[in-house]
Structure 1
Amino acid sequence: MIEKLIEASVKNRFLVIILTAIVGFVGIYTMLNTPVDAIPDLSDVQVIILTEYPGQAPQVVEDQVTYPLTSAMLAVPYAKNVRGYSFFGLSFVYIIFEDGTDLYWARSRVLEYLNYVSKKLPEGVTPTLGPDATGVGWVYEYVLDGGDKYDLQQLRSIQDWYLRYELTSVPGVAEVASIGGYVKQYQVEVDPDKLHAYGISLQKVRMTIKRSNNDVGGRLVEMGETEFMVRGLGYIKSRQDIENIPLGMDKYGTPILLKQVANVAIGPELRRGLAEWNGQGEAVGGVIVMRYGENALKTIRLVKEKIKELEKGLPPGVTIKPAYDRSGLIERSIDNLTWKLIEELIVVAIVSIIFLLHFRSAFVALFTLPMGILISFLVMYFQGINANIMSLGGIAIAIGAMVDASIVMIENAHKHLEKKPKDHWATIIKSSKEVGPALFYSLMIITLSFLPVFSLQAQEGRLFKPLAYTKTYAMGAAAILAVTIVPILMGYFVRGKI
């Protein structure tokens, strides 16, 4: 079979050359567009459910929120672990799925079960899904520097209402988490004595404020052949609007306003943490979380470009400073490994030229290296494997063995061509058939040497499988190239005096 493949390739050499060129160009495209990261993503396929139950103790949150959610999530298909955590006013439920489960399929199934279990939760409690990201999704962090002109509350408002929404729209960004500062809040401090004097309960004050913050639609009124739309404007826009909310009437029919029984002020929301910048004091910032499966370098680049655009709209004196940028780590890791690959290629090239003592023959042998690497990137791209230190390390391991078959075939061709045969191409076919099958199978045996790595599971599997995949692809590509394009190149370049 291999002998027939060699003969068919040489006889249809123009077709094989064209196909090789097409594969090479596609390989270059995939290599330039393959997602890049420092290390493989070792995270499990998980979906996080976050539920807020304000003011409740952890035991109450556990009994009324966390337990019903975890019980329902146990029935989700392919869920292997469900973990629930209860805190003061907060509930977290982590659903860990089996390896290979599509993340977005898992999220859709969790949403189906949430729709069912939400009816069993306390009134007003609504569970939400966490971002479609993984544990290594934290790719960029920045801080807002306002100098002495702006306080932490003003900077937090800029972050929450301007930067966060704009940066969330960047392709590849799953979430922009705001950290530090104070969240602006309207605070109503009631006077119990005045409430008692007017006979108004605290619950009534709460419900009245809640119902007052809305617009009410009316009907149409026709006057003078013109229609007018009637509606009641009730959205709260300032502190004075809250102060003038009527709570009822006294015995004389005079409205009782909120400001008569309470003090309305603007203050910070209760917080349980802070952000500090280089020991200079508290700061306000944001964390960029990358979407699952996206290209980290591309996402960070787009975020930086968006930040440059947004800086033009910031108030005078406010600047954005990077606090963490993973692109530096990625570039250093990939550049270091890329340089080692280049060094290895140079060493292999020098050794091949020295021992073959024929530059054109060495070129034929070395052709399989870049071509095999491009084929590896092509398969990586369509399989969804990132270019990282592990996947590129697999290629580095394979480089030394990728040229073995080509060198042996060239040496055998030299032996036949020393006799100066009349039919050059027939001699190339004959010499290739002699050693081609054995070389092909020997490379395939080396290719299969990493099969035990594919049996690894969980995090160790996610760490080492990219290395095994790329090494296998590179060796397999070298084996195929050795019996297809290499005999053709030998026919064109291995000529003259040997």
Structure 2
Amino acid sequence: MLDKIIDFSLRNRLSVLIGALLLVISGIIVTTQMDIDIFPELTAPTVVIMTEASGMAPEEVEKLVTFPIETAVNGATSIRRVRSNSTMGFSIVFVEFDWGTDIYKARQTVAERLIQANEMLPDDIDRPVIAPQTSLLGEMMIIALESDTLNPIDLRTMADWIVAPRLLSVGGVAQVNIIGGEIKEYQILADPYRMNFHGVTMNELVNTCNAMNINTSGGFINQYGNKYIVRGIARTEKVSELANSVIKVSGGFPVRISDVATVKTGRAPAIGTASYRGRNAVLLTVTRQPDANTVVLSEKINEVIREIQENNVSSLIFHTDIYDQASFINTSVRNVMKALIEGGIFVVFILFFFLFNTRTTIISLLAMPLSLFVTIITLKALGYTINTMSLGGMAIAIGSLVDDAIIDVENIYKQLRKNVILPDGEKESPLNVVYRASSEVRTSIWNATLIIIITFVPLFFLGDLEGRMLRPLGISFIVSLFASLMVAVTVTPVLSSYLLTDERRLKKAVKGSWTERNLSRIYLKALQYTLGKSRILIGITSLVFVISMVLLTTTGSSFLPAFNEGALTVNISLPPGISLEESAKTGLEAQKILLGIPEVTSVSCKTGRAELAEHFFGENMSELDVPFILKERSREEFFADVRERLKALPGASIEVGQPITHRIDRMLSGTRANVAIKLFGDDINDLYRIANNIRTEISDITGIGDL
């Protein structure tokens, strides 16, 4: 088969070159259109159910809200895992489906099950809400909002009614969670003495409050050939008009709300606070849709922020330096691309050094871009993105891409030099020599390529998260290697027939280059020596193999290597029961400590939770996002310094990690940690006691950073 491909290529040389040129053009176009991301899409089809249960203790939330929802969704088709968290006033349930399940079908299934669950839920809670569709690494940007002129209530109002809706209008944004500031509410403070004086009961006051501030429809009137719509307009934002709402008529005089209560605007009870660099602020967390291009979406969001600032909202100050996933993506891809380019340059020097011929070097090197473009086109066709895994596969293959072409072009060049010194009657035509030389090595390059490809096939048998992570690496490596084989039996012979058949050049190169002659002489001596010492060589090889196996079995392993994301995620946990205000004070103190570290460029803090947010904490917990730039110290030294300085916080449990690493850990174990020990039981007090005992026993284990 390969012989036929070689023969076809040499008979249609111009067509092959045109095809290669079209491949390069197509590859460039596809490369510019490819989405860029950190990793492949790692999120199993997941539906998130959130329920606000204001005022309920965690135990009641679990029994009365979370458990009925879990019971309702359990048993649905293709569900592989149901996880939940219950905290004061809030329940969240994660329903994970099998890989490959259509997410819209999964959401429909959960919605149908929730109809059944609603009948079992208390009447005084909000109805369960299905969260927008997002991905594991969906939290792509954190924006801090400050103002020198607005008070906390007005700042939060601007975030709720101007900034967030504008961000949600950007295609690709799934959700904008807001925390911080003060939520505005209209407060009616009843006075029992005045209520008693006017004979107004609490039920009457509550019923009036529920019925007021509502617009109603009165139908329409046809008159004088016109149609008039009748409206009852009672909705208002003015406190004075709300206060004038009539409760009842007593003794011929109306009793208004202002007669029995004080009406004013105030702040709603806070369930979370936020700060930026130690100053009170509003934090907006932007979550993208699963298929959105993070880099492009980040640019659109920054453009929207500029538009908001330009459109008469100059009092708002935006800070986007806290966390921007696009920056990490660009840095990661840039680093891998740098490795690819450096590897390619290194290959160029090595090729030229050993071949010592410009034309053979160029022919061999052309296998690299052609193979890489084939790989990118294939990844695009299969729906993958350019990410660290797919680029990593290409980087691993970069040195092997030229192997087949080198073998082919070297044999062609060798046979052409032999042919040129033959008598005229014995010489073959250059095309015949090229065909014969390529055919001689076809089996060797086929077998060598196939053996390397087979070693990567097991990656395709990995399941779940591991398979989703590593499959693009295997695809890019195998496709690029197979493409290099095809280039070696098509483009390489054609280019050799054009560039290497000049008799004058061949006669000058009959003896070979200086490098070729000397390496052949050295290799011949080494081969003769080792053949005479075969037993010693086999013994040394066996010893090295045994040592390697011992080291392999004793070396630690991890799913992903530690990498520098350029940002820290610091979780601070205080004893349960502490107030939100006290917890926020600890968060402010932690920010001051972190800002004193040279590498830290900024810091933000979220204490408690935002309304209907998947990423939430109790009031005793704070999460700090800390961007940093490493300078003189290593990553490990910097992390150790952060942990050491934060030990100064009294009574706080500290966890230091990185945003993306934390989310992958949560996907693997359900918690934001490398190793999670889960306890199950009926008595929460017993579980706390056992957990503390376990903590004491394992705290001295070497290697534990946070516990």
TM-score range, shorter chain: over 0.9
2:134 partner letter: A
Deviations 1:70-113 (A, max 9, x none): 11212332210012222222211101122333434433332333
Partner in structure 1 of residue 52 of structure 2: 52
Partner in structure 2 of residue 431 of structure 1: 437
Give the drift of 1:249: 1.8
The whole-number CA distance in structure 2 between the counterparts of 1:176 and 1:378 is: 34
Contact 1:440 1:480 in 2 (8 A): no
Flag the 1:206–1:7 CA change in 2: closer, same or farther, 3 A: farther
1:389 partner letter: T
Contact 2:275 2:283 in 1 (8 A): no
Which residues in structure 2 correspond to 1:213-252 (within 5 Å)? 213-224=213-224, 226-250=226-250, 252=251
Flag the 1:228–1:455 CA change in 2: closer, same or farther, 3 A: closer
Give the drift of 1:32: 1.8
Deviations 1:136-166 (A, max 9, x none): 222212222312x211111111111111101
Give the drift of 1:262: 1.3
Flag the 1:314–1:194 CA change in 2: closer, same or farther, 3 A: same
Instruction: Kindly indicate whether residue 30 of structure 2 is the aligned counterpart of residue 30 of structure 1.
Output: yes
Flag the 1:491–1:76 CA change in 2: closer, same or farther, 3 A: farther
Partner in structure 2 of residue 471 of structure 1: 477
Deviations 1:202-260 (A, max 9, x none): 3443332222222221233355554433221111221122211222221x132221111
Instruction: Kindly indicate whether residue 450 of structure 2 is the aligned counterpart of residue 451 of structure 1.
Output: no
Partner in structure 2 of residue 136 of structure 1: 137
2:283 partner letter: G
Instruction: Kindly indicate whether residue 301 of structure 2 is the aligned counterpart of residue 300 of structure 1.
Output: no
RMSD: 2.2
Contact 2:41 2:290 in 1 (8 A): no
Give the drift of 1:439: 0.8
Contact 1:368 1:481 in 2 (8 A): yes
Contact 2:405 2:485 in 1 (8 A): no
Deviates more, 1:15-24 or 1:408-417: 15-24
Instruction: Kindly indicate whether residue 351 of structure 2 is the aligned counterpart of residue 345 of structure 1.
Output: no
Deviations 1:295-315 (A, max 9, x none): 211111111111111111243
1:326 partner letter: Q
Contact 1:440 1:482 in 2 (8 A): no
Partner in structure 2 of residue 268 of structure 1: 267
Contact 1:139 1:325 in 2 (8 A): yes
Flag the 1:54–1:7 CA change in 2: closer, same or farther, 3 A: same
2:404 partner letter: A
Give the drift of 1:463: 3.4
Contact 1:440 1:483 in 2 (8 A): no
In the alignment, structure 2 segments of 5+ residues that lack a partner are 421-426, 507-707
Flag the 1:205–1:9 CA change in 2: closer, same or farther, 3 A: farther
Deviates more, 1:259-268 or 1:388-397: 388-397
2:144 partner letter: V
Give the drift of 1:16: 3.1
The whole-number CA distance in structure 2 between the counterparts of 1:294 and 1:306 is: 17
Give the drift of 1:334: 1.8
Instruction: Kindly indicate whether residue 128 of structure 2 is the aligned counterpart of residue 127 of structure 1.
Output: yes
Give the drift of 1:483: 2.0
Partner in structure 2 of residue 394 of structure 1: 393
Give the drift of 1:42: 4.2
Secondary structure of the 2:270 match is: coil
Partner in structure 2 of residue 106 of structure 1: 106
The whole-number CA distance in structure 2 between the counterparts of 1:375 and 1:324 is: 35
Contact 2:141 2:323 in 1 (8 A): yes
The whole-number CA distance in structure 2 between the counterparts of 1:18 and 1:96 is: 49
Give the drift of 1:316: 3.8
Q: Point out which structure has higher relative CO (alpha carbons under 8 A, 6+ apart).
A: 1
Contact 1:398 1:475 in 2 (8 A): yes
The whole-number CA distance in structure 1 between the counterparts of 2:330 and 2:412 is: 43
Partner in structure 1 of residue 448 of structure 2: 442
The whole-number CA distance in structure 2 between the counterparts of 1:41 and 1:296 is: 12
Flag the 1:262–1:472 CA change in 2: closer, same or farther, 3 A: same
The whole-number CA distance in structure 2 between the counterparts of 1:81 and 1:403 is: 46
The whole-number CA distance in structure 1 between the counterparts of 2:76 and 2:238 is: 46
Flag the 1:4–1:227 CA change in 2: closer, same or farther, 3 A: closer
The whole-number CA distance in structure 2 between the counterparts of 1:166 and 1:429 is: 64
Which residues in structure 2 correspond to 1:32-431 (within 5 Å)? 32-123=32-123, 125-147=126-148, 149-224=149-224, 226-250=226-250, 252-279=251-278, 281-322=279-320, 323-418=322-417, 419-420=419-420, 421-431=427-437
Instruction: Kindly indicate whether residue 2 of structure 2 is the aligned counterpart of residue 2 of structure 1.
Output: yes
Give the drift of 1:476: 1.8
Flag the 1:260–1:136 CA change in 2: closer, same or farther, 3 A: same
Secondary structure of the 2:437 match is: helix
Aligned-residue sequence identity (percent) comes to: 29
Contact 1:244 1:257 in 2 (8 A): yes
Please report the TM-score for the alignment, with normalisation by the length of structure 1.
0.93
The whole-number CA distance in structure 1 between the counterparts of 2:288 and 2:374 is: 28
The whole-number CA distance in structure 2 between the counterparts of 1:223 and 1:458 is: 69
Flag the 1:415–1:223 CA change in 2: closer, same or farther, 3 A: closer
Please report the TM-score for the alignment, with normalisation by the length of structure 2.
0.66
Contact 2:409 2:496 in 1 (8 A): yes
The whole-number CA distance in structure 1 between the counterparts of 2:271 and 2:315 is: 28
Secondary structure of the 1:276 match is: strand
The whole-number CA distance in structure 1 between the counterparts of 2:44 and 2:458 is: 22
Secondary structure of the 2:280 match is: coil
Give the drift of 1:428: 1.8
2:72 partner letter: A
The whole-number CA distance in structure 2 between the counterparts of 1:285 and 1:195 is: 42
Deviates more, 1:485-494 or 1:301-310: 485-494
Secondary structure of the 2:56 match is: coil
Contact 1:444 1:479 in 2 (8 A): no
Flag the 1:69–1:374 CA change in 2: closer, same or farther, 3 A: same
2:213 partner letter: N
1:458 partner letter: D
1:435 partner letter: V
The whole-number CA distance in structure 2 between the counterparts of 1:220 and 1:138 is: 49
Give the drift of 1:346: 0.8
> How many pairs were matched up?
495
1:246 partner letter: V
Give the drift of 1:48: 0.8
Secondary structure of the 1:22 match is: helix
Secondary structure of the 2:374 match is: helix
The whole-number CA distance in structure 2 between the counterparts of 1:384 and 1:225 is: 61
Flag the 1:72–1:486 CA change in 2: closer, same or farther, 3 A: farther
Secondary structure of the 2:220 match is: strand
Give the drift of 1:119: 4.3
